[in-house]
Structure 1
Amino acid sequence: MAVQPQDPQASPLLREVLSAHGGMGRWREVHTVRATIVTGGVLWGMKGLVQDPHPRQMTVRAHVQHASVQPFGAPDQRTDFTPDRVAIEKLDGRTVAERTAPRTSFDGHGMHTPWDPLHRAYFNGYALWTYLTTPFLLAMPGFEVSEIEPWWENGERWRGLRATFPAHIAGHSDVQDFYFGQDNLLRRHDYHVDVAGGFAAAQYVHDVVEADGLRFPTVRRAYRRDANGSPVYSDLLVSIDISDLRLERATTS
């Protein structure tokens, strides 16, 4: 049974952010987020992977961590991701490959350690689930959220929230920072990529669109982050372009 988000009482900024992105009332009605994604960047080559430049269909559950992308590896294949298991399967549900306790398969990895398809499927699953549920995931049970010092960039002051992820949610790192503009919409997302040696990254988002009353950025660009917190623009690690966002409501019997 899906666990519904709780009302975030502890952080006034989080309440403002959730409202700016469409509100918890509307988000509670959502069961599934679907989108078309096109991805790029140098990370895939660093991992010994050939990047698919074609559009793919991404599906994530809103209130539990479950995600799938298709096609994956072949036109008739998709992924099935949860924190405890990742699989590549045929569209009829037959399993091609699977891995339980998938996080442990990254033990000892560095930035240039090659990934196999299941590594990539796991990374895709938790990352896109995070992106397509932000900022509403921060109100889920188990998240610890507090306001931090603002970040200044190009003369703008972005207020920040630091989130500690609960153990049952897979993410880039246990602690991640989210920065919001004067309109309380997301501008930047900072984290460490623990599955690739823990390097620091800064992801910028823009081109916000509204889908059924909720707001989502549709352009994401992740760069390596230097010791001062500034992005290294020569290192575009991951690019994600999102389109055709669709929200599906939970059905009641």
Structure 2
Amino acid sequence: MNDVLSHVLDAHGGLERWSQIDRLQADVILRGPFWAVRGFSEKPSRERLTVETRREVIRLSPWKRPERDILVRAEDDAVEVRVAADDTVLESRSGIRSTYAGYELNSPWESLQVGYFIGYAMWNYLTTPFLLTYPGVTSREGERCVENGEVWHRLEVHFPRSIATHCARQTFYFGDDGLLRRLDYNVDVNVGVAVAHYVGAYREFDGIKVPTRRRVHRWNPDDSLSEDWSIGIDIESVWTV
């Protein structure tokens, strides 16, 4: 484990605390024009997420209707819409990741595609930075950079195929305090769009530190950053279950 990652893990609550957590729940609000383009919701959408920390399994509630949930089994590349009361499966799709092929930047997605995207993305966000210690994930220190008057420590991370994530290679930036400031990646399921994902407003929940504000900006073709953000995620609370 490199020195930056060791410092980062300690700053977020430590591996010892994380090893005691099997499942997290979070109340989140999804905002931004991206969701309407993809056919989800023009208004901010409130979801409760349940994520397993050792398996890439995520449940979102409610899903489209108060009595329905969506279960994203990203590790199996599958999605299911279920009745919340008794877990009856109403709709399912396997091989979900391959279904994004052929879509354009402004093409609306099917409901299950939106659910898969939210599910795997939020699993990655809620398990970071501990995710960086999972089997097959490798990281190395990159050159430091300066942004917003701070020195940011860069980690170049490679994810194995066994983890559903935005793309195999991503760059994470951490402040001197060890907390995440930004991550850069290409969104494979969204025609490979390059984004800069800023995080902040850290709070402590059950012994781990979590950024409660996320804003995603697209990189323009001239390598400038779009001033307006396309995706906003606000986390109201997180707890262990």
Q: Aligned residue for 1:169?
A: 163
Paired amino acid for 2:21 = V
Quote how far apart the aligned CAs of 1:143 are.
Answer: 0.4
Distance 1:18 1:227, change over 3 A: farther
The answer to whether 1:237 aligns with 2:230 is yes
1:56 to 30, 38, 47: 47
The answer to whether 1:22 aligns with 2:13 is yes
Cα distance in 2 between the residues matched to 1:219 and 1:98:
31
Instruction: Give per-residue Cα distances to partners, 1:139-188, cap 9 Å, x unaligned.
Output: 00010111112232122111111111110111111111111011010010
Instruction: Tell me, yes or no, if the aligned pair for 2:32 and 2:44 is still in contact at 8 Å.
Output: no
SS of residue paired to 2:230:
strand
> Which residues in structure 2 correspond to 1:88-237 (within 5 Å)?
88-91=81-84, 92-226=86-220, 230-234=224-228, 236-237=229-230
Instruction: Give per-residue Cα distances to partners, 1:111-132, cap 9 Å, x unaligned.
Output: 1122000000100110000110
Quote how far apart the aligned CAs of 1:42 are.
Answer: 1.2
SS of residue paired to 2:65:
coil
Quote how far apart the aligned CAs of 1:51 are.
Answer: 3.9
Cα distance in 2 between the residues matched to 1:117 and 1:187:
31
* Runs (5+) with no aligned partner, structure 2: none
Cα distance in 2 between the residues matched to 1:230 and 1:146:
26
Give the paired residue count: 238
Paired amino acid for 2:8 = V
Quote how far apart the aligned CAs of 1:194 are.
Answer: 0.9
Quote how far apart the aligned CAs of 1:109 are.
Answer: 2.2
Instruction: Give per-residue Cα distances to partners, 1:73-118, cap 9 Å, x unaligned.
Output: 1001111111221111111211121110111001122311220000
Cα distance in 2 between the residues matched to 1:23 and 1:230:
36
* Runs (5+) with no aligned partner, structure 1: 1-8, 249-253
Cα distance in 1 between the residues matched to 2:8 and 2:138:
15
Instruction: Tell me, yes or no, if the aligned pair for 1:87 and 1:121 is still in contact at 8 Å.
Output: no
Quote how far apart the aligned CAs of 1:229 are.
Answer: 5.6
Q: Aligned residue for 1:4?
A: none
TM-score relative to the length of structure 2: 0.94
Quote how far apart the aligned CAs of 1:230 are.
Answer: 4.8
Distance 1:158 1:47, change over 3 A: same
Instruction: Tell me, yes or no, if the aligned pair for 1:112 and 1:196 is still in contact at 8 Å.
Output: no
TM-score relative to the length of structure 1: 0.90
The answer to whether 1:76 aligns with 2:57 is no
Cα distance in 2 between the residues matched to 1:54 and 1:176:
27
Distance 1:200 1:54, change over 3 A: closer
Cα distance in 1 between the residues matched to 2:70 and 2:213:
23
SS of residue paired to 2:238:
strand
Cα distance in 1 between the residues matched to 2:92 and 2:42:
21
Cα distance in 2 between the residues matched to 1:151 and 1:227:
22
SS of residue paired to 1:187:
strand
Q: Aligned residue for 1:34?
A: 25
Q: Aligned residue for 1:43?
A: 34
SS of residue paired to 1:183:
coil
